[in-house]
Structure 1
Amino acid sequence: MTVRESSIWLVGLLACVACSDGPTLPVQDEPGSAGARWATWVLQDGSVLRPSPPPAASSEQARLEIEEIVRLQSRPGWEAEVRRWEGAPSLPWTHQTLDLLEFYWPLLPDVRVATPARAARIMALLHVAQYDALVATWDAKYSYQRPPPFVADSRVHAAGAVAGVPSYPSEHAAVAGAAAVILSYAFAREDTAEFQADARRAAESRIAAGVAYRSDVEAGLALGRAVAERVIQRAMADGSDAVWAGSVPQGENLWRPTPPRRVSSPFDPLAGSWRPWVLQRVDAFRPEPPPALGSEAFATDLNELRRLGTERTARQGDLARFWATDAPSTRWELFLAEEISRRGWSALRAARAQALLSVAMYDAFLACWDAKFHYWLARPITADPRIATVFATPPFPSYPSGHSTISAAAAEVMAELLPDAAKTYHDKAYEASLSRVWAGVHYRFDVVAGEQLGSRVGKKVVEYGRRDGSAFGGK
């Protein structure tokens, strides 16, 4: 197809989108061919895994694939599967992963799949893989400029939201292929065949929607899987499989197992040595030592926790429980997913935002865990067993607070992505931070140090995002 022909069909595509059966994505939200040049996390660039060209428009294969779509759209009930996978293609996989983490959360400490740091790691792997897969998809889309089926044949109807982009390969298929591979790696205890089956269903829903040929789907699935395998190669060398062979240090005001279960092996003591995505060194922002036992600063914050036993309000207790229901990063993943859905962001913009947020929280966890296991500060209930906590104290050192650290990092990214909602998310981060004091499981100096640490990590990730070549969420 010549450049002039490509321009003609793209103009026609936008006209078809305007009169398609469903809502359209905002034109200003779609990066077009520029999306192929956005910076990637694992791939060298978007072109390294470019698939072979699609079947020619005049080929027998293309004709047969059009006939398949016509048959699918003549069957009753075909719209249901299309609706299930509507919208930004990364979102259903985000929710599925969060559901799995929610399942594993109550199994702690016995099954350590969803510890705070590991939950953040899984979300970063998922969203990095999906984003890189989409950049590679955009490279192929604008290299081959294949018109989608509903443009090529008037018998095909475009169902649901339609993005004005070439169809080969399918973005939904690429995301699904990547997600299924990551979930199979991260949740090996599960029925991994079901992840692959879901990927197939998500991808093929685009055939029924009239926006993808079968060859678009197959190329997208293969591309997504190939990207995810590269992400897993990196993951297998990130240090997270190292087994801690150390021992809990002994000394005054150092961490020791806390009631009621008195878990003797703390969660992920080596997480501070895992490989980060953006930070050059996880100890680059390590906070100063906490106040010494017996100091005025220490006594002030300890007495605050003692008073909460009788002065804690019902709202403070409710907020403490709200922020402790799951791994802290999952709340922020849901906040962003809700914004993406409400604002109707396109596939590539949504995936970029999710990758930045997940990476910020993962790197923040590493920085936090580095400090926790550098100082090994005992929890408040160790300093005074009479402190009344809202729930059991988590089994790892106190300083700094993990919730405070990752929430501050998340708020920096959310403020960058959503400037009109910056105050809302900074307020949520402050609430998440204070919830740990209200719960009685952290000193106020824990949360202040965490807020400062997380903010510095989040700003580093924001700086990275501003250099990625996109036009969204940057200044």
Structure 2
Amino acid sequence: MQKQVFWLGLGLFVAWMGVSLAQAKSWIATPSPALERSLSQLPQTPYTPLEWATLDELERLELLAVQTQMLNPPRTARALALLSVAANDTLAALAQRPGADANVAVAAAAREVMLYLHPTFPNFKDAVRGAARDFYQAAAQAGASPQSLLASSETGRQIGMQVVAFARKDGANRQVIPEYPKAAPGVWELTLGYTAVEPGWGNLVPIGISNAQLARATPPPAWDSPEFAQDRAAFWQKQQQLTDRDKAIADKWAGDGGTVTPAGLWQEAVVAMLKDRQVGAEGAVAVLTPLNIAMHNAFIACWRDKFAYYVARPNQWVKTLDPKWAPYLRTPKFPAYPSGHSTISGAAATVLSALLPDAAATFAAMAKEASDSRIGAGIHWFLDGSGGLDLGERVGQQVLEAGGVVHAGN
């Protein structure tokens, strides 16, 4: 098992209430001589907390890169998770120490992670370096001492380097050529001339737990079973009754390359909610970090099971009924079960409902809408959605347990 993740705790909820935030604990970074050296250089001056302006700019830059480079949904979720962990672990290392400037430190950590994530994007790399420099200079103009600035920046750099070191070994850049099963009814077929999307993603190292411990989807029913026959009939009936609202929801959650993808949609919605509730930036990091970790881990679990069950997409079956039919949205190049949108949304709703329990109904409705959107889009069976939501809920619970997050009433 990876390094144990410690208590995040009830302070997440009281932070929303406008009280104090319990000290964050690290997900990836660990003490090192270099990190301890930089922390020891902090002067005895007031702590400068993280501000929303810093968090907003870092999120803006990363989502811009995601869209410009057309990262696919699993890679986007990974990027957001690594960036959140860098911010979280930096705040944990600083622990509101006198002399620390959290804006300078978090920006330095994020710089290292984003430069790693987007190595072939020169303009973006310049923007990331420029943002970190701007936060450094703004702190200097506000009266921070050179000693505080140097120590804060080096602390963030050390944390960022540790997160990057983890990422370099998580398997995201490992090429995998799957052995596809023989063609048969109900077995997914890759269109000739195309490559599957991230067939090895299920082998990645999750954050907070090991791959072997990661929750697994409930096996789907057999293709020739009455249960799957009923599901196919329900899908076809739905396709004959698509409404404008169904199509609008499908478009809303589509999240293809060139967008912020589903993980980005969840993050944007939660950021807006936290700001509306006047949660501070450090409290927001404490919410966004387990959220993004859960979505990243959920994609790993989902992709592992997609390429284990190889369930056919609806278009393969419908062409035997109506060769002229086409799904509302383009069918992705990977197997159907379980649904990726459903899995990450189930994970997101589970984590967020534990951290912000008064909004649990809102998160559950968002997850259900995201799941249903793929059925209306014509690219998933109903059972893909229900199986994904169930898997995501269990992945989300694993993240909560790994972080020691407790419900506000417990």
For the superposition of Structure 1 and Structure 2, which TM-score range results when normalised by the shorter chain?
A: 0.7 to 0.9
Deviation at 1:136, TM superposition (A): 1.2
Listed as ranges, the gaps of 5+ residues in structure 1 are 1-24, 58-84, 106-113, 146-167
1:206 to 139, 143, 155: 139
Measure how far apart 1:86 and its partner are. 5.0
Matching residue of 1:235: 167
Taking the aligned partners of 1:473 and 1:27, their CA distance within structure 2 comes to 11
Q: Distance in 1 between matches of 2:203 and 2:298?
A: 13
TM-score, structure 2 as length reference? 0.85
Partner of 2:62 in structure 1?
Answer: 97
**For 2:69 and 2:364, how far apart are their aligned partners in 1?**
29
Please give the secondary structure, in 2, of the residue aligned with 1:414.
helix
Aligned partner of residue 328 in structure 2, secondary structure: coil
Map of 2:103 onto structure 1: 172
**Residues 242-321 of structure 1 aligned to structure 2 (within 5 Å):** 242-252=174-184, 253-258=186-191, 264-281=194-211, 284-321=214-251
Deviation at 1:27, TM superposition (A): 9.9
Cα distance in 2 for partners of 1:211, 1:454 equals 46
- Residues in 2 aligned to 1:473 and 1:367: alpha-carbon distance in whole angstroms: 28
Alignment match, 1:117: 74
Tell me if the contact between 1:391 and 1:439 (Cα under 8 Å) persists in the aligned partners.
Answer: yes
1:355 positional shift: 1.0
The number of residue pairs the alignment matches comes to: 379
The CA deviation at 1:263 is 5.9
How much does 1:329 deviate? 1.0
Q: Give the superposition deviation at 1:344.
A: 2.8
Q: Relative to structure 1, is the Cα distance of residues 54 and 460 closer, same or farther in structure 2, using a 3 angstrom cutoff? A: closer
1:25-424 equivalence runs, <5 A: 28-31=18-21, 35=23, 38-44=24-30, 48=36, 50-54=38-42, 86-87=51-52, 89-105=54-70, 114-138=71-95, 141-142=96-97, 145=98, 168-191=99-122, 192-208=125-141, 210=142, 212-252=144-184, 253-258=186-191, 264-281=194-211, 284-325=214-255, 326=259, 327-385=261-319, 386=322, 387-424=325-362
- 2:9 aligns with none
Amino acid at match of 1:241: N
Change (3 A) 1:55 1:49: closer
**CA deviation after TM superposition for structure 1 residue 265, in Å:** 1.5
**In the alignment, is the contact (CA less than 8 A) between 2:104 and 2:153 conserved in 1?**
yes
Residue deviations 1:371-412 (CA, integer Å, cap 9, x gap): 100011111101222443111011100000000000000001
Task: Give 1:306 deviation, angstroms.
Answer: 2.2
Report what 1:434 is aligned to. 372
Structure 1 248/27 Cα, relative in aligned 2: closer, same or farther at 3 Å?
A: closer
Is the CA contact (8 Å cut-off) linking 1:204 and 1:214 kept in structure 2?
no
Tell whether the 8 Å contact from 2:104 to 2:135 is kept in structure 1 after alignment.
yes
Alpha carbons 1:171, 1:220 under 8 Å: kept:
yes
Q: Alignment partner of 1:89: what SS?
A: helix
Matched residue SS, 1:311: coil
In 2, Cα distance between equivalents of 1:56 and 1:452: 50
Measure, in 2, the Cα distance between the counterparts of 1:354 and 1:422: 16
Q: Which has the larger radius of gyration?
A: 1
Farther-moved stretch of structure 1 (448-457 vs 298-307)? 298-307
Return closer, same or farther for 1:172/1:249 CA change in 2, 3 Å cut-off.
Answer: same
One-letter identity of the residue aligned with 1:200:
R
- 1:81 is aligned to none
Instruction: Check whether the contact 2:188–2:313 (CA below 8 A) recurs between aligned residues.
Output: yes
Unaligned runs of 5+ in 2: 1-14
TM-score, normalization by structure 1: 0.74
**Are 1:204 and 1:217, in contact at CA under 8 Å, matched by a contact in 2?**
no
How far apart in 2 are the matches of 1:263 and 1:332?
A: 33
Q: Which has the higher contact order (CA 8 A, sep 6+)?
A: 2
Counterpart Cα distance in 2 of 1:365 and 1:283: 15
